[in-house]
Amino acid sequence: EAQVTQNPRYLITVTGKKLTVTCSQNMNHEYMSWYRQDPGLGLRQIYYSMNVEVTDKGDVPEGYKVSRKEKRNFPLILESPSPNQTSLYFCASRLLDTDTQYFGPGTRLTVL
Amino acid sequence: DAKTTQPPSMDCAEGRAANLPCNHSTISGNEYVYWYRQIHSQGPQYIIHGLKNNETNEMASLIITEDRKSSTLILPHATLRDTAVYYCIVRVGVRWGAQKLVFGQGTRLTINP
């Protein structure tokens, strides 16, 4: 089944404790992206990648890192999480020459 | 990308057609209309998109007015599982671009039994 998976789905952590949210897709998509969703602010793009080893900042990249060592994986790294990064995070992917994005199920992160 | 306006909420009876409007009066000639939906806290799901012709797929139909300033998403036989927030997005076709989707506030559609 074609899908985007994220892990973990839920995470509660404390300020400053490094964490990684994994994202994987099995559709051979070149483009992958991370969004965060907050009440009243909608979905905002954090980082995106157009292919292996090619990443770029979205609208709200501060406090986040990403890497794209393999085509299928696009982990989101929070080196020193802070409470303002408490949010619902979505990973998405698509083929470069299409507009249809496939979203993962989401990761609900709480930083205390 | 052109701005879209959607009603904040709508109700529809189960089994009836749900018609969700979207205004995009500043749309330009090369901009497509996309619809996504998000069922509570799940990832957004692509529904349909179109440029100027009406489109239909297994999920929905998209009716775009002749002047392209508005469109309507039609769910022909709404079920309780169609309860979700529906987003109308207008943007230039991506074609090798890095363009991102910009989600507005959408329409919260509630299907009532």
pLDDT of A72-95, one tens digit each?
999 999 999 999 999 999 999 998
pLDDT digits (tens, 9 = 90+) for A5-35: 999 999 999 999 999 999 999 999 999 999 9
Choose, out of A23, A103, A109, the residue to mutate when testing the contact with B (most B CBs < 10 Å).
A103
**Under a CB-based contact definition with an 8 Å cutoff, are residues A91 and A34 in contact?**
yes
Amino acid of residue A6: Q
Percent of chain B whose predicted confidence (pLDDT) is above 90:
72
Is residue B42 over pLDDT 60? Answer: yes
pLDDT bracket for residue B1 (50, 70, 90): low
pLDDT bracket for residue B93 (50, 70, 90): low
**Under a CB-based contact definition with an 8 Å cutoff, are residues A59 and A43 in contact?**
no
Is residue B15 over pLDDT 80? Answer: yes
Residues of A in contact with B45 (CB under 8 A): 103
- In angstroms, the Cα distances linking B86 to A62, A106, B24, B73, B110 are 29, 17, 15, 9, 11
pLDDT digits (tens, 9 = 90+) for B63-74: 999 999 999 999
With an 8 Å Cβ cutoff, are A4 and B96 in contact?
no
Peptide bond into A8 cis (omega under 30): yes
- In angstroms, the Cα distances linking B58 to A3, A83, A109, B10, B55 are 19, 42, 34, 22, 11
Percent of chain B whose predicted confidence (pLDDT) is above 70:
90
Amino acid of residue A87: S
Mean pLDDT for all residues in chain B: 90
Name every residue whose Cβ is closer than 8 Å to that of residue A61 and which is 6 or more positions away in sequence.
Answer: A46, A47
As a whole number of angstroms, the distance between CA B94 and CA B11 comes to 33
DSSP A22-69: EEEESS--SEEEEEEEETTTEEEEEEEEEETTEEEE-S--TT-EE--S
For residue A83, report the phi and psi dihedrals to the nearest 5 degrees: -55, -30
A residues 48-107 closer than 8 Å to B (CB)? 48, 50, 56, 58-59, 88, 90, 92, 96-106
Chain A contact for B42, CB < 8 A? yes
pLDDT digits (tens, 9 = 90+) for A34-70: 999 998 888 899 999 999 999 999 989 999 999 999 9
Ranges of H-type helices in B1-113:
none
Average pLDDT over residues B51-55: 91
Is residue A2 over pLDDT 90? Answer: no
Residues of B in contact with A56 (CB under 8 A): 98
As a whole number of angstroms, the distance between CA B32 and CA B68 comes to 10
Is residue B95 over pLDDT 60? Answer: no
With an 8 Å Cβ cutoff, are A42 and B105 in contact?
yes
More confident residue, B10 or A95: B10
What tokens were used for A16?
Answer: 């400053």
Task: Specify the pLDDT at position B28.
Answer: 85
Chain A contact for B40, CB < 8 A? no
